[in-house]
Structure 1
Amino acid sequence: MIRLTLLVVAALPLIALGGCNRNTAPGNDREAQVDAAPSPAPRTPAAQALSGVAVAAVQPETMTDADIASLGGPEGMCSIRLTRVGLPSFVHTGLDRTGAIKLNGKLIPMRAQREGMFADDGLRVAILPLDDKFDSNGLREAEMIVMLPGAEDEIGFRGYEDCSRRIDRPVKGEARSFVSSPWPSAALGTTALIPLLAVAALLEIKTGGRPCRGRRSSRHVRRLGARH
């Protein structure tokens, strides 16, 4: 009898484990299964995507990898992220080219009206970089202003512009080209410097001894209302 009791007690953990193995909650499946690949959000014009929707409740949504793939893939594309490691809320192929935003579960392709301003069917998105150049990781701080059609106020977000997939981005600390500096390399020799020195002397005479200074271009985006 004692031996039979010991066998029953020893078998209790095995019975308990068998019960645990019947757990069908996600992550506890008895058989390994692969989830189906997510499908991208449909691409529609802004008027159709926002039809019948209260624009006051509309907020930019993050894009999945499937969304990005349906737009042509991440290569050569920049994205606006609300955090350094967040998913994209807006993507573009250049501030003067094309872009896309996800609203109401739909991808809305947009075209640039001018540098940093994208539009489609009354919807406008402005991208305002807060720094001229990107860091070594291809990031720089930026603001995204969303102007929904029919809305009284614009929606403002501050985050990061990620252009790590573009090779033509200006990077902090990289050597400037000869356009930024009027003096050639010493490797050109003294003969190449003589014409440049003569031109510099003439410019100094015409400007009264004051060096000419260029102006940095400034970009202005019209505010439509109080930004949240």
Structure 2
Amino acid sequence: MNSEGDGEADKHKAKMQKIKAARDRMNEDRQGEKGLIIVHTGPGKGKSSSGFGMILRSIAHGMPCAVVQFIKGAWDTGERRLLTEHFGGLCQFYAMGEGFTWETQDKARDIAAAQRGWEKAKELIRDPSVQMVLLDEINIALRYEYLDLAEVVAFLRDEKPFMTHVVLTGRNAKPELIEIADLVTEMAVVKHPFRAGIKAQAGVEF
């Protein structure tokens, strides 16, 4: 390598050393741990997918976890098959929903299903052996007022065990929920195949 190339390599190495030193100092200042309230919201795809990714990480670490589905319970999804057929010992899975509200067309039925899901969610969150609970599409149930927002917020704020992680997905997350959350991610839409006439497909959407 010529001297000019050597100089560029040395500059790069020096720059990376500074970045590493800064990152090391940052990590030294952050030693605390706590169970997080995590919200995935926004109009873009990937909210549930990200939540299930965290569930799979928990399983990989041997951490007992659970899923409560508030809307998609009637669907035969890939994640449901995988978790129930292969990881039932570590992950409890409860499909409590009956489909989207425009499919059921029965508000009382939707409210009853959401309430059953919330009661199961509280039971799982209170269970000291469960370390992460995914509440899939609960934001939709809250948006349509199938659940009492104040009750959900108060429970997560006041009763969630200190080291339990709770992940809540669905678009249009309520500001009150965002306020108490530790981690909030909003998925944006750039392009989506549905707008080009392509239907939901196995392995991508479910």
More strand by share: 1
Alignment TM-score > 0.5, same fold: no
Bigger relative contact order (CA 8 A; separation at least 6): 2
Q: What is the TM-score with the length of structure 2 in the denominator?
A: 0.24
Q: What is the TM-score with the length of structure 1 in the denominator?
A: 0.23
Max radius of gyration: which structure?
1
More helix by share: 2
